[in-house]
Amino acid sequence: MGKRSLKQRFSDAFSGLLYTIVSQRNMKIHLLVAIVVVFFALFLGVSKIEWGILILTIFIVLIAETINTSLEKTVDLITNKYHPLAGLVKNIAAGAVLLAAINAVIIGFIIFIPYILK
């Protein structure tokens, strides 16, 4: 690949994110839910600490989905035939996204329920 400028590296990174957003249905769902959560948090007036926790939680889900996409594409690059281990790698990566999403739901309940019950 050779030496690449910092500008080119950022461009490549944004290109990868854009690819994930455009091509992956689940990433679109995660982003839509994130936008809803942000508006909900604005409406309820959550604290700065709660904002920090929400933003961190949102980014963990988005990062997990991006890594999942990367692993899926890597497996697809290596083989186009069915192999149990290839399927297992994809399932494990999807499981990581599921764990991040479950965590996000739990955090959402912990933060939002007290505001809703007021």
What does the pLDDT read at residue 1? 58
The whole-number mean pLDDT for each consecutive block of 10 residues of the chain, a chain of 118 residues, reads 87 96 97 98 98 98 98 93 92 98 98 95
User: Top-level CATH class of 25-117?
Assistant: mainly alpha
Active site residue 50: no
- Choose among 103, 26, 104: nearest CA to 68: 26
What does the pLDDT read at residue 118? 86
What does the pLDDT read at residue 70? 97
pTM score, two decimals?
0.92
What does the pLDDT read at residue 81? 87
Binding-site residue numbers are 65, 72
Binding-site residue numbers for ATP are 72
CB crowding 77-105: b at 16 or more within 10 Å, else e: eeeeeeeeebeebbeebbebbeebbeebe
Task: Kindly name the residue from 34, 61, 65, 111 that is annotated as catalytic.
Answer: 65
